[in-house]
Structure 1
Amino acid sequence: MIERWNRDQVLALAPDTSSAKAAQGVSSPGKWSGIGATADALWGECKGSGSTPYRACVDLSEPAYRCSCPSRKFPCKHALGLLLLWSADGVPAADEPADWVAEWLEQRRERAVKATARAAEAEAPRAAGTGADPAESRRAGQREQRVAAGLSELERWLADQVRQGLAGSRRHDHWDDLARRLVDAQAPAVAGALARLSSVLSGEDWPARLLGEYALLHLLCVAHRRLPEVVGEARDGVDTGLLQRVRERVGFPVTKEEVLAGETVRDVWDVLGRRDEEHDRLIARRVWLRGRNTGRAALVLSFAPVGQALDASLVTGTALDADLAFYPGTSPLRALVATRHGGAPAAPAPGSTPQEVLEEVAGALAGDPWADSWPVVLDAVTPAGNGSWSLGDSSGGLALHPSAGTPWRLIAASGGHPLTVAAEWTPRGLRPLTTWDEEGRVIVL
């Protein structure tokens, strides 16, 4: 039986604030008929403006949603309203789902089986040990040459920027031409990093921040240029994970099939929080996890065009017993959920002192100098501020990200008393994600 979510967890699924507000307007029992819930499904019919009520259902195991309303938002206000009603214990239990719900669930199971079969078929030739396609090997070699040439140009360009000074970088289109050439050179990750540099110009400290970004790009160029000689030394103890990380930061992809074919880590994973970002009409969702027994951090990424549904299967404040498959590299963080063994009782995630958090982040950066975020959990800390805000204890504190402003919700939850806080570490400070009240219930920040 899936543990019932609380109100904050449900509202965290809303695509925007207007959807969250509208959902509360349709969460009263009088709006619904034919409602019911089983161990992994939830359904009901909501009275709308038309003569026929809207049918909404939720697959709680993902979660996934379906509604007959014309809304393009996902989940829509009816699915959210139904979840709010369920969170308030307003949906009666049922032995079996309604026929139209059972049909939808069966279709979802069939699609999952077909997807698994397709993945197995794609992996079969590799498992059989067939030789590489000569044409594919030739294309791979050509790409390596284009990437090397593109990064060599970037390295010279960076040297020119430092030699000439940063004043000319105040134009927001300063990097556009070079970014397009790097796309042509098939180094998309580096091109994306360049394209995002315009966001650095908004702060008063932009010269220092921009110089830091240039330094990291230069480090990546040098690391890639030295790959051939380092690969030759790999037998002498060079970390092959770092080699993989360099290639990933350049833009060489690792397929999901390759990741899932590797080793997995089973644990009870606490879902600490999530953050959505938009880049070039594409929404990227970051969901942060933490293993209760292993203490490992994990990041599950999903992408979708603006206006389309994102993966909402990992709900903030819940926990799941699952096997995670991590992408290769030093300080592995990004992961895929390989196998779910079921839910687990929600509880505050185990925390660390500010000093222990700094040591953990330092270790992560030693393995991946280009990391720009890392999930952490601070135990027994209080928010404090005088112009800028931090989270800390008697031994010290960690600054909050400037975008956090005055963290009113966190201050209210604390009431001046220590509490456990999950946050996303970034070079500019912590972004608070969640905290827990005295009864262990999650509060989304």
Structure 2
Amino acid sequence: MIERWNRDQVLALAPDASSQKAAQGVSSPGKWSGVGVTADALWGECRGSGSKPYRACVDLSEPAYRCSCPSRKFPCKHALGLLLLWSADGVPVADEPADWVTEWLDQRRDRAVRAAVRPARTAAEAERGPAIDTSRAAQREQRVAAGLAELERWLADQIRQGIAGSRRHDHWDDLAKRLIDAQAPGVAGGVSRLNAVLAAEDWPARLLGEYSLLHLLCVAHRRLPEVVRAAGDGPDARAGAGTPHPPGAALLRRVRERIGFPVTKEEVLAGETVRDVWDVLGRRDEEQDRLVARRVWLRGRNTGRPALVLSFAPVGQALDASLVTGTALDADLAFYPGSSPLRALVAVRHDGAAAAPAPGSTPQEALEEVAGALAGDPWVDSWPVVLDSVVPVENGSWSLCDASGGLALHPSAGTPWRLIATSGGHPLTVAAEWTPSGLRPLTTWDEKGRVIVL
């Protein structure tokens, strides 16, 4: 039987605040009939405004959801309400699922089997790699090089003229459009997000820092071929993700990824995987260019390795909710190549792994880990950390501290009331997302080991 999730974990699955409120409104036992739970499924019928109740079920092994209601939100309020009822121990254990639940589970398994047995590429195709239109690839290389050269000149002009004119919010619009035309979408996205810097009180210092990172990326792209040759990495520094990468090639892959050269999912999954029990530390959603990006942070219990699973969806549409905050996942992860590999895909899931707090480190150890990541990838802007035996302390601003020191919280965290209430002045373990502007708290655990989503 999968360990029952608590209320915070369930509400963290909701696509928005209104869904959380609506789910609590349909989570009372009187709303439900025919409920049951087995090792991998949860189901029930919820009374609605129509003559027939809505049938909701959850595949707990993913999780995945199904409901007969017309809602376009995913998971809908009925699936969330059913999960809340289960979290309150309001669903009895059954020997086997209802017939309509079994039918849905069988359909899901059939689809998974068909996907697993699709014909793979032949050995010769795998060895050759994907077919590449060399002329189009060369044309893109030229466009990117020209676009980054223009960006270098533009940055030099900004420093020479001064940054006072940057207070206009449309200051970077034309430059971002030209970088899109130059087929460097990663850099264009970084330029378009500079508007957010202007909201900070110390915007001149932060803007100069962002300009420095953009300049470093331009120079790295221009000089990396000679660096790779000097390192003796061989002629093919752009090998597929399934081949070993010497240090120079790994850095080249990271630079190209930051610029916007794609790495396909197939390439990543063809590479080596890392099996571990991965604690799901927390997640954060943010809107970028009319898309919502979901960051889910994981950390391996045995390897201590951090991982980031990204998913994207248009605003208002469902995002991947298969990784539940506070749970543990026995799985093989495939990492995107680079100098400080962090982003990953879940390649294979295995049975087992009970939820438990992740092992933590001191603030000093966490900073050393972040410093190592920045040494491999200077453009890292977030990194997961787990701090052990820290207390929220206010000294002008809020920080997480132990006897040796502390780390400041991100200004957006405000006063961390839930963290303060859970701590009660006592040390606790906190999972957080490190950023250059401070920590964004994700998750903590109370004295009984129960996860609390912050």
Query: Could you state the TM-score of these two structures normalised by the residue count of structure 1?
Result: 0.96
Partners in 1 of 2:134 and 2:260 — Cα distance? 18
Deviates more, 1:135-144 or 1:246-255: 135-144
User: Which one-letter code corresponds to 2:134 in the other structure?
Assistant: S
Task: Return the match for 1:386 from 383, 395, 419.
Answer: 395
Pairwise mapping of residues 158-173 of structure 1 onto structure 2 (< 5 A)?
158-173=155-170
Task: Return the match for 1:413 from 422, 427, 433.
Answer: 422
In the alignment, what sits opposite 1:225?
222
- For residue 235 of structure 1, give the secondary structure of its aligned residue in structure 2: coil
Task: Give how far 1:117 is off.
Answer: 4.0
Kept in 2: contact 1:284–1:304 (CA 8 A): yes
Partners in 2 of 1:78 and 1:15 — Cα distance? 13
Q: 1:128 to 1:400 in 2, by over 3 A?
A: closer
Task: Give how far 1:231 is off.
Answer: 2.7
Partners in 1 of 2:10 and 2:264 — Cα distance? 32
Question: Are residues 1:106 and 2:106 paired?
Answer: yes
Partners in 2 of 1:84 and 1:182 — Cα distance? 47
Partners in 1 of 2:123 and 2:7 — Cα distance? 48
Task: Give how far 1:8 is off.
Answer: 0.8
Partners in 1 of 2:98 and 2:326 — Cα distance? 29
User: Which one-letter code corresponds to 2:206 in the other structure?
Assistant: R
Task: Give how far 1:132 is off.
Answer: 6.6
In the alignment, what sits opposite 2:62?
62
Task: Give how far 1:381 is off.
Answer: 0.5
Kept in 1: contact 2:227–2:248 (CA 8 A): no
Q: What per-residue deviation string (whole Å, max 9, x for no partner) do you get for residues 215-259 of structure 1? A: 000000000001221232231675321111101100111111111
Partners in 2 of 1:427 and 1:6 — Cα distance? 32
Query: Could you state the TM-score of these two structures normalised by the residue count of structure 2?
Result: 0.94
Sequence identity, in percent? 84
Pairwise mapping of residues 19-418 of structure 1 onto structure 2 (< 5 A)?
19-118=19-118, 120-121=119-120, 123-124=121-122, 127-130=125-128, 133=131, 136-235=133-232, 238-418=247-427
- For residue 351 of structure 2, give the secondary structure of its aligned residue in structure 1: strand
Kept in 2: contact 1:46–1:53 (CA 8 A): yes
Partners in 1 of 2:367 and 2:128 — Cα distance? 47
User: Which one-letter code corresponds to 1:78 in the other structure?
Assistant: H
User: Which one-letter code corresponds to 2:406 in the other structure?
Assistant: G
User: Which one-letter code corresponds to 2:291 in the other structure?
Assistant: L
Deviates more, 1:385-394 or 1:214-223: 385-394
Total equivalences in the alignment = 442
Gaps of 5+ in 2: 234-245
Gaps of 5+ in 1: none
Task: Give how far 1:22 is off.
Answer: 1.3
Deviates more, 1:56-65 or 1:94-103: 94-103
User: Which one-letter code corresponds to 2:25 in the other structure?
Assistant: G
Partners in 1 of 2:439 and 2:358 — Cα distance? 17
Partners in 2 of 1:205 and 1:7 — Cα distance? 39
- For residue 181 of structure 1, give the secondary structure of its aligned residue in structure 2: helix
- For residue 226 of structure 1, give the secondary structure of its aligned residue in structure 2: helix
Task: Give how far 1:153 is off.
Answer: 0.6
